[in-house]
Amino acid sequence: MSCITVQDRAVAINPTRSCAPIGTMLANYGVHGAITINHGSQGCATYPRHQMSRHFREPVEVATTSLTEKTTVYGGKSNLLAALKNVWERFHPTMIVVCSTCLSETIGDDVPGIIDEFVERHPEVTVPILSVKTPSYIGNHTTGFDNFLKEIAANLPDRRKKKGETNGKINMIPGWVNPGDIRELKHMLREMGLHGLWLTDYSETLDGGYYEPRPPFPRGGTTIEELRSSSKSLATIALQRYVGGEAARIYERRYNVPAHVLTMPIGLVNTDAFIDTLVEITDHTIPEALQVERARLLDALVDTHMYTTGLRVALYGDPDLLEGLVGLVAEMGMTPAYILTAADTAPWAERMLELTGELGVESEIILKGDLHELHKRIKAHPVDLLIGHSKGKFIADAENIPLVRVGFPVEDRFGYHRRAIVGYNGSIALVDEITNQVFERRASAIVSNTLLERGVEGPSQVPIPLRNGKVVV
């Protein structure tokens, strides 16, 4: 039977999380022409930029109010007013988002009040200016992303909606995913003959091309006009419960746009649920192309089951990502021995307890955990595979366990942000990656669908019985 444990150690060693402001910065990159102002010290902007650049391999521009010792004592109002003025005059963005930090929250700066004062002083500034609370001592990077989405849902959509008026689109909230995931989701909607309104879309802004001359803002992203019209959509689909789920419910409460909050579509069952939801909303039929992709995923699961069934896996990362991955791991016949997240989300833990019970697997679900805690458990009770981001490489190297890299950040590999792990195609790629990692570390050869452990002699080394110079059959 699965169980829930909570790490009681106060100090994090090799944490699995990042700071809250980075979530707002990433989400805002999915709005065309928008700029984030980080209201804190220079380091509070440099660290997220560094992390995002190493993962996405793109230049990341974020403004900062550069709070110092003086502003810590007397307040950062003057710095924020100056930053707003400079950003507007130099860039003329389509939207400005001010995210707070531990420092500005602790000294008690009234960010919404400062924004109101700036707008009153500068009536020529007509673009929306939003404030997002992201102190890093509350939540983590997914909290910042989720808070941004809630601010968008509550403040930007046009509330003037006539009865029966619709833009014919579906609000899509993919949550914290990679550009490759967003492109795969777009492909699935196109095959269904549907149009998505993405909250938000950084599939090009953080995975773009090289253009001469360089445009003032990265190509792509959801426009402000689209965000304003999102109150007229047919429905809202949030593909992660804890990053976008509450924003979808805001659309339902405020604008009467039906909300559908799903599990991240990784694996067969979770992707089926996503497709079924699209059919429910629109009455469209499932096209043959998607049926073929589904059949191909099912075939991949069948083809690999003899190599993966019975393996013990340790997973770590964000709650929504883990919920999707556990489904796929179970479909591959593996046991998710440890499921660790840095978040302190009791409802998620209860949901995982229920899910592992439904799947018939026994897992330890660890809340507020770090990779040091995971390493201790793996030393005591080893696993066959690790699934998570790059910070797990220290465990993988120390214990000689293969690591399948997913999530954020992946900084020791190139191009992983372009890979999709969602949908039928993304799940196929993940099944292939997992199986190949098993081959790489555990097998010296694959003969007649048999996985030969290292140290076992290959067939060419086995003596062949002969009689009168002929092989004995």
Residue 445 pLDDT more than 60? no
Cβ contacts of 288-294, under 8 Å, gap ≥ 24: 289/191, 290/188, 290/191, 290/192, 290/424, 293/423, 293/424, 293/425, 293/428, 294/268, 294/424
Peptide bond into 101 cis (omega under 30): no
* Domain co-membership, 129 together with 176: no
**Would you say residue 464 has pLDDT above 70?**
no
For helices 141-155 and 20-28, the axis angle rounded to 10 degrees is 50
The whole-number average pLDDT for the span 396-419 is 95
Assigned domain for 471 exists:
no
State the residue range of the domain holding 277. 170-288
Res 249: pLDDT: 98
- Of 238, 261, 288, which residue is a domain's last? 288
CB 270 within 8 A of CB 294: no
252 and 234 Cβ atoms separated by less than 8 Å: no
Residues 121 and 210 in one domain: no
Cα–Cα distance measured from residue 437 to residue 413, given in angstroms and rounded to the nearest whole number: 15
Amino acid at 357: G
**Helix axis angle, 423-442 to 319-331, nearest 10°:** 70
CA distance 158 to 230: 8
Q: How many CB atoms sit inside 10 A of residue 146's CB?
A: 28
- Per-residue model confidence (pLDDT) at position 462: 43
My answer on whether 300 and 449 are in the same domain is yes
pLDDT band at 163 (very low <50, low <70, confident <90, very high): confident
**Is the peptide bond prior to 409 cis by the omega test (within 30 degrees of 0)?**
yes
What average pLDDT does the segment 282-302 reach? 97
CATH number of the structural domain spanning residue 280: 3.40.50.1980
pLDDT at 446: 58
pLDDT score for 466: 45
Q: What is the pLDDT of residues 125-160, one digit of tens each?
A: 999 999 999 998 898 999 999 999 999 999 999 986
26 near 177, Cβ under 8 Å?
A: no
307 and 271 in a single domain? The answer is no
Split at pLDDT 50, 70, 90, the class of 458 is very low
Based on its alpha-carbon atoms, the radius of gyration of the chain, rounded to whole angstroms, reads: 25
Task: Identify whether residues 282 and 327 lie together within a single domain.
Answer: no
Final residue in a domain of this structure, among 256, 288, 320: 288
What b-and-e string marks burial along 61-75, b requiring 16 or more CB atoms within 10 Å of the CB? ebbbbbbeeebeeeb
Residues 223 and 145 in one domain: no
pLDDT of residue 159: 84
Sign of the torsion angle spanned by Cα atoms 231, 232, 235, 239: negative
pLDDT digits (tens, 9 = 90+) for 220-232: 999 999 999 999 9
pLDDT tens-place string over residues 22-35 = 999 999 999 999 99
* DSSP per position, 151-206: HHHHHSS-----TT---S-EEEE--S--HHHHHHHHHHHHHTT--EEESS--TTTT
pLDDT tier, 473 (very low <50, low <70, confident <90, very high otherwise)? very low
Span 298-328, pLDDT tens digits: 999 999 999 999 999 999 999 999 999 999 9
Judgement on whether residues 127 and 83 belong to the same structural domain of the protein: yes
Percent of the chain with pLDDT over 70: 93
- What gap in Å lies between CA 341 and CA 199, rounded to an integer? 25
Is the residue at 461 inside a domain?
no
Does residue 470 sit within a domain? no
Residue 463 lies in a domain: no
In whole numbers, what is the pLDDT of the chain averaged over residues?
92
Q: Are residues 198 and 324 in the same domain?
A: no
Tally the domains of the chain.
3
**Per-residue pLDDT, 442:** 67
Query: Per DSSP, what are the bridge partners of residue 261?
Result: 238
The 10 Å Cβ neighbour count of residue 128 is: 19
- Higher per-residue pLDDT: 285 or 136: 285
